[in-house]
Amino acid sequence: MRALLVEELLPDFGGCRLADGLAAPQPSTGEVQVKIMAAALGFPDLLMTHGGYQHKPDLPFTPGTEMAGEVTALGKDVTEFAIGDRVVGGSLGGGLAEMGVFPVRGLRRLPDAMDFAAGAAIGSAYLTAYVSLVCRGHVQPNEWVLVHGAAGGVGLAAVDLAKHLGARVIAVASTPQKREIIETQYAPDIVLDPTDGFREAVKEITGGGADVIYDPVGGDVFDESIRCIAWGGRLLVVGFASGRIPNIPANLPLIKGFSVVGVRAGEYGRRDPASGRDNLEAVWDLAGKGIIRPHVHAELPLENWRLAFAMMENRVLVGRVVIRPNA
């Protein structure tokens, strides 16, 4: 089989190689072998290629944390799935290969109405949005939700989910092309160009400030967000895609009565497994009913892995880019 291997942790994917003729991995107890039909790339995959992510697998390893495919072999004691089942899920790697082995506990059946690419693209993005907006942000109908990085995977998921929750959504995206796709396919109430700042526009639109701010960007975006949040608002710290971790003067939350809320969707489930399972079930119930839907920007064959990573690194995507290892 073919697989992308990370053999050294180097910048610019210098330690990555598309390898052919590899033996397909075989499932052990509690695992299944999957023919991988789609793998959605995320920033953890990008960071792991040069050692920039907190999880550092032993070398060599195959990146790809989210995938969908067909079960092709069962490990010992596996009764949850049968050969031929369509499944979605993953682990901390293994998705960018024609075949992979995954623990049963990390898989679920792909809804019948959903294709492999959409299934691979839902998981972490929509779970992050759900934990952020529902569990940590407690978004209520008619509240104003400001979503930064709205063209990215987690940002677009937040726009989609916030609309379902009945919120009024302001989506912020950096280019006209991104804003057009977001507006036509997800219909937020307002789409903003952040080029000249967004603080005054948000305050005017909302009549004082956003009730909930979803920030996967950090840096200057965070700094400006604390100037346009409503009294009693919730500023959700989702990530730092800008590269700068911001600081906040403690007097500002005091004076304006807002909360700064950290969001780690995976850790939320690890700390409270029952709630973690409930959150996943809620996301997949919405997906199975077609209420939420990811946007797949591009589907590329495995040999175009470098282009897929570049699209993500250069931030030209709306939603997710998906690799099709068996295309």
pLDDT, position 84? 97
Question: Which homologous superfamily does the CATH classification assign to the domain defined by 3-110+295-324?
Answer: Medium-chain alcohol dehydrogenases, catalytic domain (3.90.180.10)
Taking only the tens place, the pLDDT of each residue in 102-117 is 999 989 999 988 999 9
- Single out the residue of 219, 210, 166, 208 nearest to residue 192, CA to CA: 210
pLDDT, position 78? 93
Calpha distance 148→218 (Å, rounded): 9
Assess contact for 261 and 229: CB atoms under 8 A: no
Burial code of 278-313, b = ≥16 C-beta within 10 A, e = fewer? Answer: ebbeebbebbeeeebbbbbbbbbebebbeebbebbe
Assess contact for 235 and 215: CB atoms under 8 A: yes
- Single out the residue of 167, 143, 126, 93 nearest to residue 280, CA to CA: 126
pLDDT, position 128? 94
Instruction: Give the helix/strand (H/E) hosting 312.
Output: helix 305-313
Task: Tell me whether the omega of the peptide bond preceding residue 25 falls within 30 degrees of 0, making it cis.
Answer: no
Which residue positions in the chain have pLDDT lower than 50?
Answer: none
3-state secondary structure 62-110: CCCCEEEEEEEEECCCCCCCCCCCEEEECCCCCCCECEEEEEHHHEEEC
Tokens of residue 141, six digits: 């109908």
What are the sequence ranges of the domains in the chain? 3-110+295-324, 124-268
**Amino acid identity at 113:** A
Sign of the Cα pseudo-torsion (203, 208, 209, 210, in order) = negative
* CATH 3.40.640.10 matches 124-268: no
In degrees and rounded to multiples of 5, residue 74 shows phi and psi of -115, 135
Calpha distance 67→87 (Å, rounded): 9
pLDDT, position 149? 94
- Single out the residue of 65, 6, 1 nearest to residue 35, CA to CA: 1
Burial of 257 (0-12, 13-18, 19+ CB in 10 A): exposed
pLDDT, position 54? 77
Task: Give the distance from CA 174 to its chain's centroid.
Answer: 18
In degrees and rounded to multiples of 5, residue 300 shows phi and psi of -125, 150
Domain 3-110+295-324 identical in fold to domain 124-268: no
pLDDT, position 44? 84
pLDDT, position 313? 86
Residue whose structure tokens are 């950090």: 218
What global pTM score does this model have? 0.92
pLDDT, position 123? 87
Calpha distance 85→230 (Å, rounded): 48
A 10 A CB-CB count for 59 gives 12
pLDDT, position 327? 84
